[in-house]
Amino acid sequence: MNCGLSNLETLKQYLLAGTLAGDRKFDFALQAVGLAAAGLCETFTNRKLGYLAGDASVFGGGRRIFHLQRYPISEVTSIKTRAVETDAWVEETGVVGLVNYESGKVDLGVEIADDSVQIQVIWSGGYFFETREPEEEGYPTAKPEITSQVAVAAGAVVATLPETLRAAYLLQCESIWATRDNLGVGLVSREEAKAKIGELKLSPLVEAMLKPFIRYALM
């Protein structure tokens, strides 16, 4: 189960004590906490963090440089254009660009269309992490393979989730989980811990850990 930047098993082992880790009654709440924490991390860093194959972004024409939201890039699959929204996308097979796989920057070298045309970039990238559970078929998930020979020759890889980023995410999950009265027995009694989950923000420690991952480039 995708829980943001981990699977459910990881969150259970980290957030639930003792035998509670084997209890399924917290599954839905844990997934919600995980997704919320991941959303906060992505908003703060201004990027998509999880790996996705075949992601797509659409840009206005009249430019040659594009900054993709999901990186490190493992490969750029295609560059396509269209003049009218109802038209089919047409692949620009002659485009030879320069890809910065670490930063998510794609430089086509030339402007392939004016600002009246839309440009679609399709690529795979982000940080890979386990989303299956130990009892699921296919666990552990094999890391995706790069099919583009150009990307392989350039040294591109499918990057795994950095430990610092994983730790920041889990600490934020812990911060959210601590505000909940999960057992319904009034364990959350401190006034400062009674904030509604919808009002929660990243903790100062998590923000400090996430700063090196911030994407400053505009779309």
What integer pLDDT is reported at residue 181 of this predicted model? Answer: 56
Q: Tens-digit pLDDT profile for the chain (219 aa)? A: 999 999 999 999 999 987 676 778 889 999 999 999 999 999 999 999 999 999 999 999 888 999 999 999 999 999 999 998 889 999 998 877 899 999 999 999 888 888 889 999 999 999 999 999 999 999 999 999 999 999 999 999 999 999 999 999 999 999 999 887 554 434 444 555 455 555 678 999 999 999 999 998 765
Chain center to CA of 127 = 7
| 84 and 114 together in one domain | yes
Place of tokens 């004590």: 17
Q: Residue 185: its pLDDT value, please?
A: 38
For residue 46, the model assigns a pLDDT of 96
72 and 42 in a common domain = no
Q: Are residues 4 and 60 in the same domain?
A: no
- Where a domain ends, among 160, 175, 200? 160
Q: What does the pLDDT read at residue 165? A: 98
The answer on 154 and 57 residing in a single domain is yes
Query: Please, are residues 215 and 104 in contact by the beta-carbon 8 Å criterion?
Result: yes
Residues 136 and 88 in one domain: yes
Q: What is the SS3 assignment for 218?
A: coil
Clarify whether residues 64 and 128 are in a common domain.
yes
The range of the structural domain enclosing residue 76 comes to 50-160
Please give the pLDDT value at position 110: 85
Same domain, 100 and 152: yes
Separation CA 192–CA 137 (nearest Å)? 43
Q: Are residues 81 and 131 in the same domain?
A: yes
Q: What is the CA radius of gyration of the chain?
A: 21
In this prediction, residue 186 carries a pLDDT of 42
Residues 189 and 213 in one domain: yes
- Do 82 and 92 lie in one domain? The reply is yes
Number of domains composing the chain: 2
Same domain, yes or no, for 137 and 42? no
Residue 85: predicted pLDDT: 86
Last residue of a domain, one of 139, 160, 181: 160
Same domain? 88 vs 176: no
